[in-house]
């Protein structure tokens, strides 16, 4: 059970960016920062933030036979629907800060811009999966595609293994998303070292945290 101060209402913060952008390191640092301040929070992720999602994540990242674009999109959406209902909404209701590693904008960037699926349709499907819940803040960790690709080491999963062109398209997607929704979506320059990126992240988070 989580202890500690709880903000008046929960806050939903999502971390986004291309593979190799460093967002997972940053979200873990933010969790440590909140824990130190005794602010109630949970760290979760998509895909794989719910029990069902753990199974879906394995399929999404490691299934070896062809997966159609629509099937891929629906699997991410199924993961999200389950995650929202059983983990994110309850935590927000308890007044916690929910830190989520990837969410709706990943589907827009990867399946929309990357796989060239219809953006409006994806937005509509996202709305169904989330029951209309929108993050209070989304941080996009923007990094040069070549830099991000170099950071990826070891065996690559299904999406990481897509070529550089795919990753260029989804980076553009994230930049478009940030431009279209400047109130919700903030860009952090993730070409810098871990400490500098974290300083920039904290600046953005503190603006909505009120601590
Ligand atoms: P992760 O490795 O950052 O946890 O993300 C898993 C992979 O899934 C990553 O390559 C991005 C991809 N992804 C999508 O293509 N669409 C989505 O909606 C989500 C949440 C992730």
Three-state DSSP state, 26: helix
> Within a 10 A sphere around the Cβ of 60, how many other Cβ atoms?
22
Alpha helices (H) along the chain: 23-36, 51-62, 69-83, 89-93, 104-106, 119-130, 145-151, 164-180, 194-209
**DSSP per-residue letters across 146-185:** HHHHHH--SS--TTTTS-HHHHHHHHHHHHHHHHH-TTTE
Cis peptide before 36 (omega within 30 of 0): no
Question: Going residue by residue through the chain (211 aa), what tens digit of pLDDT does each one get?
Answer: 444 554 457 999 999 999 999 999 999 999 999 999 999 999 999 999 999 999 999 999 999 999 999 999 999 999 999 999 999 999 999 999 999 999 999 999 999 999 999 999 999 999 999 999 999 999 999 999 999 988 888 888 898 889 899 999 999 999 999 999 999 999 999 999 999 999 999 999 999 987 6
Q: CA angle, corner 189, sides to 184 and 192, nearest 5?
A: 150
Q: Whose CA is nearest to atom 8 of ligand 1?
A: 159
Cα 171 to ligand 1 centre (Å): 13
Confirm or reject: Cβ of 53 under 6 Å from ligand 1: no
pTM: 0.95
Cα 46 to ligand 1 centre (Å): 7
Confirm or reject: Cβ of 87 under 6 Å from ligand 1: no
The DSSP code for 38 is T
Q: Is residue 61 within 8 Å of residue 158, measured between CB atoms?
A: yes
Task: Report pLDDT for 2.
Answer: 45
Task: Report pLDDT for 1.
Answer: 44
Cα 90 to ligand 1 centre (Å): 23
Cα 205 to ligand 1 centre (Å): 23
Confirm or reject: Cβ of 114 under 6 Å from ligand 1: no
171: which 2 tokens? 């980076």
Q: Whose CA is nearest to atom 12 of ligand 1?
A: 159
Q: Is residue 97 within 8 Å of residue 10, measured between CB atoms?
A: yes
Confirm or reject: Cβ of 160 under 6 Å from ligand 1: yes
Spatial separation of the C-alpha atoms in residues 14 and 172, rounded to whole Å:
18
Task: Report pLDDT for 211.
Answer: 61
Confirm or reject: Cβ of 72 under 6 Å from ligand 1: no
Cα 183 to ligand 1 centre (Å): 24
- State the closest ligand 1 atom to the C-alpha of 77, by its place in the atom list counted from 1: 18
């Amino acid at each position: 059970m989580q202890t500690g101060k709880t903000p008046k209402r929960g806050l939903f913060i999502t971390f986004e960016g291309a593979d190799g952008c460093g967002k997972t390191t940053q979200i873990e640092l933010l969790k440590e920062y909140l824990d130190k301040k005794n602010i109630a929070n949970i760290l979760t992720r998509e895909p794989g933030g719910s029990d069902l999602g753990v199974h879906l994540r394995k399929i999404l990242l490691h299934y070896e036979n062809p997966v159609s674009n629509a099937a891929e999109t629906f699997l991410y959406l199924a993961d999200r629907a389950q995650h929202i209902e059983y983990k994110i909404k309850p935590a927000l209701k308890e007044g916690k800060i929910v830190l989520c590693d990837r969410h709706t904008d990943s589907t827009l960037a990867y399946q929309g811009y990357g796989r060239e699926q219809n953006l409006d349709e994806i937005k509509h499907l996202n709305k169904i999966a989330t029951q209309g819940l929108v993050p209070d803040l989304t941080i996009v960790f923007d990094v040069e595609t070549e830099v991000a690709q170099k950071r990826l080491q070891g065996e690559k999963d299904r999406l990481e293994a897509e070529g550089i062109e795919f990753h260029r398209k989804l980076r553009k997607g994230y930049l478009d998303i940030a431009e279209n929704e400047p109130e919700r979506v903030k860009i952090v320059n993730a070409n810098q070292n871990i400490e500098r990126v974290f300083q920039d992240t904290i600046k953005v988070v503190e603006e909505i945290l009120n601590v």
